[in-house]
Structures are given as C-alpha cells and as structure tokens.
A and B are shown apart, each in its own frame.
Chain A
C-alpha cells in the first residue's frame, strides 16, 4: 500500500506514514472496522450464550415435566392396583406357610370345631390362597353354620333376657335369612364340584348339616316336617314358622 502523500510504502497497521508522518487513513478505517467486528462478535457471543442458557432452562423444565408425568402415571397405577399388590404379597406370605395353614385347618375340622375353622380361615385371609381352593365348599357350609348358630344364640339370649324385639336386629329374621341362604347354597350344583371339595370333606359337610338341623330343632322348636318344608320356602315363610314355634 502506498502513502497518498509521499508515495512511500506503508502497511495497513501503520498509524502514520513512516516516511512523511501523514496519518494513515486506511489504518483508521481498519481500526473502526475491527472495533465494529469486535462489538458484533461480543453481541453474537452474548446472544449465543443467552440462547443456550434459555434452551437449557427450557429443556430442564420439559425434563422435569416429563419426569412428573411418568411419576403421576406410576402413582395412578399404584392407586388402582393397590389391592392387587397387597393381595399378591398376602398370597405369597400364605403360600410360604401353606402346609402349616392346611394342617391347622385339618386339625380344627377333625375336632369338629367349625366355628374355629371358619375364624381361622378368615382371620388368616386363607381364601386368597390358590392352594386352599378345595376348602371353599366346606367353608361355604361353615359360613352358614356360623351364621345360623349366631342367629340361634341371639334368639336364646333374647328370650332368656326378655329383650325387646329390635326392628333392625330381629333374631328370627336373622335365622330365617341364613337358613334360606343355607338351603340355596347346599342345593347348588357347584357345591358338589370336586375341584372345590377336598376328599374327605364330605364327612365334615354332612356333620355340619346335621348340626344345623339339630340346633334348629332344639332351639327353634321345629319339627322334622318343618325342616323338610324349609328347603322349599322363602325367607318370609321360614321366619313365619320360626315365630309360630317360638310363641
């Protein structure tokens, strides 16, 4: 590059001409351009940093939202499946001690302690164990046995203590209700299903049925004919006979 004043050879970075001392206009332009570029660069750099920061913050929030959506879905599944989850743990705990429970049930049945076996079955939630499915028929009858027994006991105590008849807790109605249920269960076809009845349980079922008959005869003062007719009667019909015999 040549100096416009003396024609001497100058470089762009020379502030003045080294030969005549004339200020180098190209240098000034160059300096201005450099300052402009530097400013532009700084601005671009700041913009890039800000954009990156903004994107980072946005992505962070989106990530948190995604995490929360997943957590909500899992919590919802937990809520809807809480019974199944608890049941799964309960069943596996029962299965771990299945033989103990089975021998406990067998012992109570052998002793003829049908109230005891019914309580044992429900107190230990044994109805949820697949391994004890073949106890379900005997437990159905035990349920009726306990229900009829409870009603008859209510009747006995109410009569002995001369309790006034309660509109919401009428022992005769309670017994009639359970006898009707008993007859409908014991005559149902599923009752004799072998899958639901363990071998040897027929004996306990027969014993419970006989005891239900005997206790109803003894404490409700019914005749054999009454008993036979109960099988075909509605709850109201059974209740009517029970009340007539009690009078």
Chain B
C-alpha cells in the first residue's frame, strides 16, 4: 500500500533524473563545441598543402599560426619561408605587370631572402619561381 502510494512520485523522480543527466550531457557537449578554438597547423598539414601545390592555403595557415602565437619548430620554419616565398612571388608578378617596379623589386628581395631558409623545400621554390616567371626576370 505504501509502495503503491509513492510509485508515481518514484517514476517522476526517475524520469526527471534521467532528463537532467541528458540535459547536462547536451549542455557540456554544446559548451565544448561553442568554445572551439582554432588549433595551429602542424608540419603534417603544411606538408599536405605543399604536396598538392596548394600554396595559398599554406600562406593562410602560416598567418593563422602567427595569429595564435604558435612557435614553429625548425622544420616548420622551412614551410613558413616557403609561404613567404610564394606570397611575394605572387605579388612580384602582379606589381611588375601593373608597372609598380619598386614594389615588385621589394617582393623579389623577400623571395630571395626567404629562399635561403626553405631547406629541403628548395625544389618547391624553383617551381614557384617558374610559375611567376622570376628566373627569367631576376
């Protein structure tokens, strides 16, 4: 009789406890997804961009890493130099084509300085230079 009188309340307690646990888990998951922050691109992903010649994404990720205050490893610094090389080679051709010789010369200087720091990625610098007609002009 006693048990019978509280059965409704016990069911209510059980259901409310389950719904609270579920809501709490959803809340934690939503907090985690909403507080998502970018993580820096590491060597593996930068290697992927270089291999697929997606140099603009490399530039983008290097800028993103710098924005996050990420300190690159020695190997990653070579990718950073390659990104610098590509960005300035792109601008070099653009400025040269539009008659802005001083700006083009400044970009070419950055390409040449960055080239020295590309290490094992120097073959990619040749590809970039050819792409933007630097060898012929320099």
A positions within 8 Å CB-CB of B: 54, 57-58, 61-62, 64-65, 68-69, 71-72, 75-76, 78-79, 82-83, 85-87, 89-90, 113, 115-116, 118-120, 123-125, 146, 149-150, 153-154, 156-157, 160-161, 211, 214-215, 217-219
Contact = CB atoms under 8 A, between A and B. Distances in A.
A75 B20 contact: yes
A200 B34 CA distance: 34
A68 B13 CA distance: 7
Nearest to A84: B34
A82 B66 contact: no
Given A115-B63, A160-B53, A214-B98, 4 more contacts: A58-B6, A64-B13, A82-B27, A123-B64
17 contacts: A54-B2, A58-B6, A62-B9, A65-B12, A68-B13, A69-B16, A76-B23, A78-B27, A82-B27, A116-B63, A120-B67, A123-B67, A124-B68, A156-B131, A214-B97, A218-B98, A219-B94
Contacts of B97: 214, 217-218
Interface in B13-65: 13, 16-17, 19-20, 23-24, 26-27, 30-31, 34-35, 37-38, 53-56, 59-60, 63-64
B57 to A, nearest CB: 8
Contacts of A75: 20, 23-24, 27
A211 B97 CA distance: 12
B87 interface: yes
B80 interface: no
Contacts of B94: 211, 214-215, 218-219
Given A61-B13, A72-B16, A161-B53, A124 B26 contact: no
A72 B35 contact: no
B90 interface: yes
Interface of B: 2, 5-6, 9-10, 12-13, 16-17, 19-20, 23-24, 26-27, 30-31, 34-35, 37-38, 53-56, 59-60, 63-64, 66-68, 87, 90, 93-95, 97-98, 131
Contacts of A58: 5-6, 9
A123 B12 CA distance: 46
Contacts of B64: 119, 123
- 10 nearest CB pairs, A to B: A75-B23, A68-B16, A153-B56, A123-B67, A119-B63, A82-B30, A120-B67, A86-B34, A61-B9, A218-B97
Contacts of B12: 65
Contacts of B24: 75
A72 B90 contact: no
A156 B93 CA distance: 12
Contacts of A72: 16, 19-20, 23
A86 B98 contact: no
